[in-house]
Homo-oligomer: A and B are copies of this chain.
């Protein structure tokens, strides 16, 4: 990261108790926006992502971990820019360390199952007593105090949220989204909650608890469509690759892949017919108006597919672009992540092992926000090992003497 501009959240300190995906992605965004994030891991077994295959290290990308400093690519992505310390809350002295960590912090993020943090003595009530200005963000499956202890994996929440029946066609099975969308939406709303609470703190001087659930975040997204009204109005809800009421609209098959076409409005439909060199369709009453096209959508889609299936994706895209019709190739993730527009804006970023170079260009999630007078990006810092930055934090930041650190280590607390 160059240092030409400051970062928007510079000067804020985050204590990060999270593991799995939802929590670490929240603190990754905060780190990328410039907050100082101190990731706290259990000394015996750290973030779950550390065990995610594949790994990268001195032998490049490998499926099985072979060396101590082989690092899971998931961890390499999610721990960027974070300090890493170890702390076992159940050991003697650990709650004092916790108190010291949060005393001057602005934000804490945790994603234990609801109820667990209180049992460990690090819940919101305990934290507030130490630092009333602290903004304490809890991410959970169903919300604080709801279904305590229930496990909320992404696929469980996807199933409950309605998202799986939002995609796919009539009569088809549900669709499992290949992106862990529930795991990712909760942290995004968690960050909005944290920053909103921060704004309120500028007025009141007080922190508060922010409580976001995976189920609520994803279900709210599903709620953007008017499901009941569509049913009451007799409109189809699962429409698959195309949408008849906007016809021609959707995904069409080419010789070597698929393309997306949007041509509902008259000038676009005419452009499409010109690209198809289908003079007969231009003159055909069945396709002359939007209502007619909706009524004859199946026939219309067959005609379009006859044309596209003879062409390569590149040929079909070029022909439609020449007529000003909105069109795009359906791309594979790996190609999409390398789009020069996305790379230039650091919406995806390269990850590298801090010690070893690889030839493989591994790209991962960035912070998809650009500022005219600030920059995003990650400090050159990553906890390869659990507790990698214990000295930097416990000795240099909290001022602990060497004997206290040794005693904590002896007790298994760090």
Closest to A369 in B: B193
Q: A196 near B341 (CB under 8 angstroms)?
A: no
Q: A365 at interface (Cβ–Cβ under 8 A)?
A: yes
- Does A370 make an interface contact (CB < 8 A)? yes
**A188 CB contacts on chain B under 8 angstroms:** 185, 188-189, 192
Residues of chain B within 8 A (CB-CB) of A210 are: 369-372
Query: How far apart are the CA atoms of A185 and B340 in the complex, in Å?
Result: 20
Q: Please give, as numbers and ranges, the residues of chain B lying within 8 Å of A163 by CB-CB distance.
A: 178-179, 333, 336
Complex CA gap A219/B208 in Å reads 33
Q: Is there a chain B Cβ closer than 8 Å to A410's Cβ?
A: no
Say whether A283 faces chain B, with CB atoms less than 8 Å apart.
no
Asked whether A15 is an interface residue with its Cβ less than 8 Å from the other chain, the reply is: no
Q: A181 to chain B: which residues have CB within 8 Å?
A: 181, 221
Report yes or no: B220 in contact with A347, Cβ–Cβ below 8 A. yes
Task: Establish whether residues A153 and B262, one from each chain, have CB atoms under 8 Å apart when the complex forms.
Answer: yes
Residues of B within 8 A of A179 (CB): 163, 166-167, 221-222, 224-225
Asked if B6 and A224 sit within 8 Å, CB to CB, the answer is no
Cβ–Cβ contact B226 & A74, under 8 A: yes
- For window 170-197 of A, CB contacts with B under 8 Å fall at 173-181, 184-185, 188-193, 195-197
- Cβ 8 A contact of A176, one of B161, B204, B250: B250
Contacts of A115 in B (CB 8 A): none
CB–CB B196/A33 < 8 A: yes
Chain B residues with Cβ below 8 Å from A363 are 223, 228
Nearest 8 Cβ contacts at the A-B interface: A162-B336, A216-B347, A166-B178, A162-B333, A195-B195, A159-B260, A8-B196, A209-B372
User: Measuring CB to CB, which residues of chain A are less than 8 angstroms from any residue of chain B?
Assistant: 6, 8-12, 21, 25, 29, 33, 53-54, 56, 60-63, 73-74, 77, 124, 142-144, 146-147, 151, 153, 155-168, 173-181, 184-185, 188-193, 195-200, 202-204, 206, 208-213, 215-217, 219-235, 237-241, 249-251, 253, 258-260, 262, 326-337, 339, 341-342, 345, 347-348, 360-374
